[in-house]
Chains A and B, each alone.
Chain A
Amino acid sequence: GQNIDQPTEMTATEGAIVQINCTYQTSGFNGLFWYQQHAGEAPTFLSYNVLDGLEEKGRFSSFLSRSKGYSYLLLKELQMKDSASYLCAVRVTGGGNKLTFGTGTQLKVEL
């Protein structure tokens, strides 16, 4: 099976930078996704990493180290609307595009 760990909660200040970590243990790793989910709503796709390194997309960046089983999501210039849960999900070989999700990190952005 897979094991995915994320911090449960984080708090940050508007305008600041925050890094949300995700560690995983799995066999047959074949990609890692980050999703954003506002309370009571559907998750929305943020980023996908399958090779080591940094992927940048506007205010959001995601990093992957396969040898360490580690990823992070970096959010810059935080806005109040970034208050949400951030879900890390892992894809494994042979499962199509089936994902296993972590429990999510609830981010609260304060003034």
Chain B
Amino acid sequence: DGGITQSPKYLFRKEGQNVTLSCEQNLNHDAMYWYRQDPGQGLRLIYYSQIVNDFQKGDIAEGYSVSREKKESFPLTVTSAQKNPTAFYLCASSASRQGSEQFFGPGTRLTVL
């Protein structure tokens, strides 16, 4: 079955620690995206990548980093510089064709203690 996987579903970390969230897709999509969602809020774009080995900052990139070494994978690192990292993180992918919808993974709920 084609789809997007994110792991783990729930993640707890101590303040000051970096943490990496996994995102893998087998849909053969060129583009991948990371969003953050806070309670009662919409999705805010952190980083996106339209092709392997290239990525751009979204609206709230500070305190986050990404890599895109493989088409299938787009891991997100939440660094200690991110002031308020507790949130629901969603990864998505889409084809390059104009108007292609984004498909979302199940999300990772990160709690920083």
Q: Which residues of A pack against B, CB within 8 Å?
A: 30-31, 33, 40-45, 48, 50, 87, 89, 91, 96-104, 106
Contact = CB atoms under 8 A, between A and B. Distances in A.
A75 B44 CA distance: 26
A103 to B, nearest CB: 4
Contact of A102 (B33, B42, B59, B88): B42
Interface in B89-113: 90, 94-96, 98-107, 109
Category for how many chain B residues contact A: 20 to 34
B64 interface: no
Nearest to B43: A101
Nearest to A102: B42
Contact of A50 (B44, B94, B96, B99): B99
Q: What are the 8 closest A-B residue pairs judged by CB atoms, nearest first? A: A42-B104, A101-B42, A103-B42, A45-B101, A101-B43, A97-B94, A96-B50, A104-B42
Contacts of B95: 97
Interface of B: 31, 33, 35, 40-45, 48, 50, 58-59, 88, 90, 94-96, 98-107, 109
Contact of B104 (A30, A43, A97, A102): A43
B100 to A, nearest CB: 5
A87 B35 CA distance: 14
Given A33-B101, A97-B100, A42 B90 contact: yes
A91 to B, nearest CB: 8
A97 B42 contact: no
A87 B102 CA distance: 13
Contacts of A42: 90, 104-107
Contact of B96 (A41, A97, A99): A97
A36 to B, nearest CB: 11
26 contacts: A31-B98, A40-B88, A40-B107, A41-B107, A42-B104, A42-B105, A42-B106, A42-B107, A43-B90, A43-B104, A44-B104, A45-B101, A45-B102, A48-B101, A50-B99, A87-B43, A97-B94, A97-B95, A97-B102, A98-B45, A98-B58, A99-B45, A101-B35, A102-B42, A103-B42, A104-B42
